[in-house]
Structure 1
Amino acid sequence: MIQKVRYHLRNMKPLDVVIIICLLIASFIPHIVYGIQLSNIDEDARIIATVKISGEEVYSVELSEETPHEEFRLEPSEGQYNIIEVDGTRIRNKEDNSPDQLGVRRGWISHPGETAVVLPHQLIIEIHAENLDGQEIYEEDDIIIPM
C-alpha cells in the first residue's frame, strides 16, 4: 500500500496539484450558488410545493405554519402508488411501491430548490418561492449548473 502511494506521488507533476486544487474549489460552486439563492428570498415570499407526474402538475400547496397536515394518494399508472404527506412547512413522499425507494429515503423537503424524485413513477416534488404577486423569485432557466 505504501509503495503504491509513493509511486503515485513520484509520478505527480506540479501542474497536477494545481488542477486538483482548482477542481476541489470548483466543486463548492453549486453550494455557494444555492446559498446565495436562499439568502435572496424575502421573508414575505410564499414557499410553494408542486407535485408533478410525467411533467404535468397534479398538486400544489403553499408551505406555511398555517398549512394543515394532509396525506393523499397518487396513482401515476396502473399498479403504482405514492402517498404524499404535507405537514405545515414541509412535504415528503411518505410511501410508494418503487423498487429503490429513493423518493421515500429523501425524506422531508422544505426549502426552495429542493426536490424529491421517484423516477419509476415519473413523480417529482419541487419547492420554489414566489413573490406576493405570484411570480417565481428565480426561474429554472436562470439557474446555471456548471458541467
Structure 2
Amino acid sequence: MKRLKQHYELVKPFDWIIVALLMLASFIPIVIFTIQNSHVSADSEIVAVISINGKEERRITLSESTKHETFTLHPAKGQYNIIEVDGTRIRDKEDNSPDQVAVKTGWISKPGQTSVCLPHKMIIEIQTTEKTEEIDDTIIPL
C-alpha cells in the first residue's frame, strides 16, 4: 500500500489532463476516415491505383462487374508481386519480400485503404473518382 501511495504522489493533476487529451486525440483518425467515406457519392467509381517507386503502374476499376484477375508485377530485378483482383477488392497475394507486410494486409476495398510493400516500393491504394458524362459541345447554327 505504501508503494502505491508513493507512485500516486508522483502523478500531478496536469498529468491527468495530458492523458485525457491524448486519449481523445487517438480518436481523430477514426473521425477523419468516417467523414471522408461519408462524402463518397453513389455514382463515384472506386479505383485501385498500383504504383511502384512513386510511378503509377496500373489503375483498376473495382466493381461488381470486374472479373477475377491475377497478374504479376516486377518492381526490380529479382522482385515480384502477384496481385489478385476479385470484383470489388484487391490484394497482394504473394511477393518475395522478407517481411510480407503487404501479403498479411489481405484484401482491401474501401476508399483510403492501402497495402504497402516497402522493400519493393509498391503501394496499392483505393481511391474514388467521379464519373463524368461526356457532353457534346457541338455548336449548331440556327
Instruction: State TM-score, norm by structure 1.
Output: 0.86
Q: Which residue of 2 aligns with 1:88?
A: 87
Between the two proteins, what is the percent identity of the paired residues? 50
Q: Which residue of 2 aligns with 1:109?
A: 108
Q: Which residue of 1 aligns with 2:50?
A: 51
Structure 2 unpaired stretches of 5+: 134-142
Aligned residue identity for 1:84:
I
Q: Which residue of 2 aligns with 1:37?
A: 36
Instruction: State TM-score, norm by structure 2.
Output: 0.89
- CA–CA distance in 2 between the matches of 1:87 and 1:3? 61
How far 1:71 moved relative to its partner? 0.2
Determine helix, strand or coil for the equivalent of 2:128.
Answer: strand
Aligned residue identity for 1:11:
L
Structure 1 unpaired stretches of 5+: 135-147
Distance 1:123 1:40, change over 3 A: same
How far 1:8 moved relative to its partner? 2.9
- CA–CA distance in 1 between the matches of 2:9 and 2:106? 45
Aligned length: 133
- CA–CA distance in 2 between the matches of 1:70 and 1:3? 66
Determine helix, strand or coil for the equivalent of 1:7.
Answer: helix
- CA–CA distance in 2 between the matches of 1:83 and 1:4? 56
How far 1:43 moved relative to its partner? 1.1
Aligned residue identity for 1:117:
V
Q: Which residue of 2 aligns with 1:121?
A: 120
How far 1:54 moved relative to its partner? 0.5
How far 1:30 moved relative to its partner? 1.0
Aligned residue identity for 2:27:
F
How far 1:3 moved relative to its partner? 6.6
How far 1:9 moved relative to its partner? 2.2
How far 1:97 moved relative to its partner? 0.3
Q: Which residue of 2 aligns with 1:27?
A: 26
Query: 1:13-63 CA deviation, whole Å, 9 max, x = no partner?
Result: 111001100110011111101111001101111000010010111111110
